[in-house]
């Protein structure tokens, strides 16, 4: 009999939580950061390198994969895990956010969304039922409900209307998902920055019943202060015994602030996208490897980091390959960023388990405030 996906909470410290999501494809230690493998690859990384950074789970994008190479083709080729050579857990998003942000000529109705592909202009329809079908063809371990993300800023009335439709779509997603042992379905809370609407959304999702709950509609341009404002109360509306997933977050201080407020899982393209653009996250803040100050510097980017970029290469070399548009630049800087994000997660898991999260957080912020080491 296939193992069901389950969540166990091992320790809490304030609102911060650490535990394990158990799946047939392996355990996911929480709080977890999920690197984004948009089109079946974490850009510039081999799957075994992503695993070496400490990642337990990846995210795949339903929207991108349904357009190219198509979910049907991936299914014929044995599913997404086999296709991309990642045998550990995969979470797929539902396609809702990308339809909002990338697709042209969107038409939204109660039934679903009709849109033009950003790849070739072809016409497609995603409904809650079709999203569940695509994610089943992909074979992902954690499936997300199909929801609508209104672009902020929006009026309370528009946010409420959108949220209520998303809740109807959540019920349709659950009905279409059916009973799939070994796979989990997460609902997505909406409601913008309005406590009443967030609570209404949470109650509707709990009534339907999901394996985990996401906080949607954040990290869409509202700013950190507004996001933390919502996270101060919204996770408390959700069940204690299910994982909570903050979609699309974020920078290192966003991640730490989210975990402090009770979030268990996050994903973001930032480590990989920034790495390809020469931006590096370190314990002492953000570095820009295109800056001339690094040109003669034999030191590592971060002397406390054990990733290949820091342990085997100098700032001068990493500056040179970035300025020369060499492929290895994106590879090494992405590896470093993903490694550092996973270091943060491990640091928080250890601190929560030890009951020292506040002290860990204070040191995290104090070290970042120091800024980069002095130039030579």
Binding residues for Zn(2+): 305, 307, 310, 336
Yes or no: say if 244 and 217 are a contact pair by the CB < 8 Å rule. Answer: no
Set 141, 264, 267, 372: catalytic member: 267
Q: Which helix (H) or strand (E) holds 106?
A: strand 104-108
Yes or no: say if 34 and 21 are a contact pair by the CB < 8 Å rule. Answer: no
The whole-angstrom separation of Cα 291 and Cα 318 is 11
Yes or no: say if 338 and 59 are a contact pair by the CB < 8 Å rule. Answer: no
Active site residue 93: yes
Contacts of 119 (CB under 8 A, 6+ apart): 67, 68
Yes or no: say if 95 and 146 are a contact pair by the CB < 8 Å rule. Answer: yes
Residue 214 to residues 197, 320, 322, 364: CA-CA distances in angstroms? 15, 41, 37, 26
Strands (E), 109-243: 113-116, 123-126, 142-144, 184-189, 212-215
On the 0-12 / 13-18 / 19+ scale of CB atoms within 10 A, 124 is middle
Binding site residue list for substrate? 93-97, 147, 190, 217
Q: What's the token pair of residue 66? A: 């349904």
Q: Which residues are catalytic?
A: 93, 267
């Amino acid at each position: 009999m296939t193992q069901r996906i389950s969540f166990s909470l091992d320790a809490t410290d304030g609102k911060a939580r650490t535990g394990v999501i158990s799946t047939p494809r392996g355990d996911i230690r929480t709080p977890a950061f999920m690197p984004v493998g948009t089109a079946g690859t974490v850009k510039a990384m081999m799957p075994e390198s992503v695993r070496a950074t400490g990642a337990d789970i990846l995210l795949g994008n339903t929207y991108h994969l349904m357009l190219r190479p198509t979910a049907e083709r991936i299914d014929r080729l044995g599913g997404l895990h086999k296709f991309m050579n990642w045998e550990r857990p995969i979470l797929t998003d539902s396609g809702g956010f990308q339809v909002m942000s990338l697709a042209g000529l969107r038409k939204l109705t109660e039934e679903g969304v009709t849109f033009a592909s950003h790849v070739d202009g072809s016409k497609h329809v995603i409904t809650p039922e079709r999203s569940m079908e695509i994610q089943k063809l992909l074979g992902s371990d954690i499936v997300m409900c199909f929801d609508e993300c209104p672009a902020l800023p929006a009026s309370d009335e528009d946010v409420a209307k959108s949220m209520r439709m998303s809740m109807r779509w959540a019920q349709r997603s659950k009905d279409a998902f059916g009973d799939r042992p070994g796979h989990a379905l997460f609902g997505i809370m909406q409601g913008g920055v309005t406590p009443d609407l967030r609570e209404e959304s949470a109650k509707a999702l709990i009534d339907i019943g999901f394996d985990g709950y996401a906080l949607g509609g954040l990290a869409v341009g509202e700013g950190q202060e507004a996001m933390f404002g919502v996270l101060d109360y919204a996770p408390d509306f959700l069940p204690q015994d299910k994982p909570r997933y903050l979609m699309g977050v974020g920078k290192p201080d966003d991640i730490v602030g989210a975990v402090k407020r009770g979030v268990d899982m996050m994903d973001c393209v930032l480590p990989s996208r920034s790495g390809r653009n020469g931006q590096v996250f370190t314990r002492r803040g953000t570095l820009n490897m295109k800056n001339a100050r690094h040109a003669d510097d034999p030191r590592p980017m971060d002397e406390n980091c054990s990733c290949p970029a820091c342990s085997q290469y100098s700032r001068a070399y990493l500056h040179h390959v970035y300025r020369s548009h060499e492929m290895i630049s994106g590879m090494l800087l992405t590896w470093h960023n993903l490694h550092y994000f996973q270091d943060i997660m491990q640091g928080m898991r250890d601190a929560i388990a030890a009951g020292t999260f506040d002290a860990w957080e204070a040191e995290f912020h104090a070290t970042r405030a120091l800024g980069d080491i002095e130039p030579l």
